[in-house]
Structure 1
């Protein structure tokens, strides 16, 4: 890794950007898509880490790279006043990856529970939403178990076909409370989906996140070497009574490609 010598010798690590709303170089930019924002956040985090950061070695020997002052602002409010949500970007239907992402984010935010989690899967190169039910079921069980444990209150999914979403709703023990669709790939919300969500008290939301949140080219540009992105997670913290977004950040799991070792 020519660009970041401090990371040499690390085969697997997490990057925690902290609250990017506290980074003026990011917030002052306009019309930036999610991938561009994430690249800026990673580069800022790594620069700060290079200057005065410390590698945190967790109990499972995963190293966490974070900013010196992450400025999460969570302790400025009672937890009951906050609405905390995660969106997990998975590159494969791996239950362990989903569990790891959620548990690591809870540790970073220093909270025991959150309001909602939305999971999305990377599609094939054509970008078609061809995720079938069996692809979702393995990871959905993880979300259901976290609901039972009281760590999550609502669960949802993004960017799957209406037929698959209906099948998931019929199969699941804990029904999805949220579905997100990307209007860049579905310019008009199907009326049948609108009706289904209304009938079943499901929040129908839109978003503009790219399917591949951190492309391979961006990763190599940042680190000077090819790495695998196992998962990425975005956290959002709102103050309930005012609906104000106070905290936004990312957590990522990166590891070396086998062929690059």
Structure 2
């Protein structure tokens, strides 16, 4: 390793060792040639590639200084950002899916605020929530969903989100949520890997109450703690990051309404260092 790379590696370690929070923005994946060449087999592999490449690019191009050691490290590739201009805002739809990686640690507001700031918009058109799965041995319940949904409802009332949706709810759970919620779910994603045909009872309920049924191929756990740590280690070599935990992942897409094409897409990631 040449002296410049050795110095950058040292600076990177200092920054990550001091920081308490890591915020990462992959930039627009439609434009990032380094990532466009890859054809990941799954959303998990795509996210891993994005984290590794973004960290690697950020540490190799950013002017690092150990004199200023921030508690929050913001890693983004400025050339690849995809802010939406006021002139084009009416022409595009901004949708997001938020994966919460830890139970009992709601970070929905932080994720939505970061998405709005990153894309330079005041409101996201739709957000679908994928809360962490219930603890082993427990079944999913309305009580498990309520805290996250209440936070989403608050963001609808403050006009940060226009519409909110759910993921992987069967007919009974969707009905319970619909009856309880003040802001009703506008959509529900169904994973066709576990359900080749939409269940008739779910289809009937969704049609009756005007809930859009969508399909997806995301795994139940988008990224495990060990996979996240491996991706960071690949981006910042020779660094022990076993005390870092993935907090949430927000995947967004900006779609041109008139043409139905994706103008931009990317990931926002937040991780936190575990308290000693």
TM-score tier after normalising by the smaller chain length:
0.7 to 0.9
Is residue 135 from structure 1 mapped to residue 152 from structure 2 by the alignment?
no
Residues matched between the structures, number: 254
Deviation at 1:47?
1.4
Deviation at 1:195?
0.6
1:99 to 106, 109, 120: 109
Q: Is the 8 A contact 2:43 2:222 kept in 1?
A: yes
Structure 2 residue matching 1:65: 3-state secondary structure: strand
Aligned to 1:233: 250
What does the per-residue CA deviation read over 1:108-161, in whole Å, with 9 as the maximum and x for residues that have no partner? Answer: 1111012100000222587x9932101111111111122222221111010123
Aligned to 1:169: 178
Distance 1:146-1:45 versus aligned 2 partners, 3 A rule: same
Aligned to 1:193: 202
What does the per-residue CA deviation read over 1:76-95, in whole Å, with 9 as the maximum and x for residues that have no partner? Answer: 95101110011100124547
Aligned to 1:242: 259
Structure 2 residue matching 1:156: 3-state secondary structure: strand
Aligned to 1:108: 118
Q: Is the 8 A contact 1:178 1:205 kept in 2?
A: yes
Deviation at 1:51?
1.6
Structure 2 residue matching 1:20: 3-state secondary structure: coil
Q: Is the 8 A contact 1:90 1:230 kept in 2?
A: yes
Q: Distance in 2 between matches of 1:129 and 1:21?
A: 40
Is residue 211 from structure 1 mapped to residue 220 from structure 2 by the alignment?
yes
Distance 1:48-1:113 versus aligned 2 partners, 3 A rule: same
Aligned to 1:33: 42
Q: Distance in 2 between matches of 1:98 and 1:8?
A: 26
Deviation at 1:174?
1.0
Structure 2 residue matching 1:8: 3-state secondary structure: helix
**Displaced runs of 4 or more, over 3 A:** 1-4, 92-96
Q: Is the 8 A contact 1:239 1:245 kept in 2?
A: yes
1:119 to 129, 135, 139: 129
Unaligned runs of 5+ in 1: none
Q: Compute the RMSD of aligned alpha carbons.
A: 2.6
Distance 1:7-1:93 versus aligned 2 partners, 3 A rule: closer
Q: Distance in 1 between matches of 2:57 and 2:179?
A: 47
Deviation at 1:257?
3.1
Is residue 221 from structure 1 mapped to residue 230 from structure 2 by the alignment?
yes
Structure 1 residue matching 2:79: 3-state secondary structure: coil
Is residue 254 from structure 1 mapped to residue 263 from structure 2 by the alignment?
no
Q: Is the 8 A contact 2:112 2:160 kept in 1?
A: no
Q: Is the 8 A contact 1:22 1:71 kept in 2?
A: no
**For structure 1, which segment, 84-93 or 94-103, has the greater mean C-alpha deviation from structure 2 after superposition?**
94-103
What does the per-residue CA deviation read over 1:39-91, in whole Å, with 9 as the maximum and x for residues that have no partner? Answer: 11111111111122368xxxx96331111312315239510111001110012
Structure whose alpha-carbon radius of gyration is higher: 2
1:78 to 88, 93, 98: 88
What does the per-residue CA deviation read over 1:5-64, in whole Å, with 9 as the maximum and x for residues that have no partner? Answer: 252321212111111111223223335210111111111111111122368xxxx96331
Structure 1 residue matching 2:254: 3-state secondary structure: strand
Q: Distance in 2 between matches of 1:148 and 1:66?
A: 30
Distance 1:32-1:81 versus aligned 2 partners, 3 A rule: same
Unaligned runs of 5+ in 2: 1-8, 65-69, 234-240
> What is the TM-score of this pair, normalised by structure 1?
0.88
> What is the TM-score of this pair, normalised by structure 2?
0.83
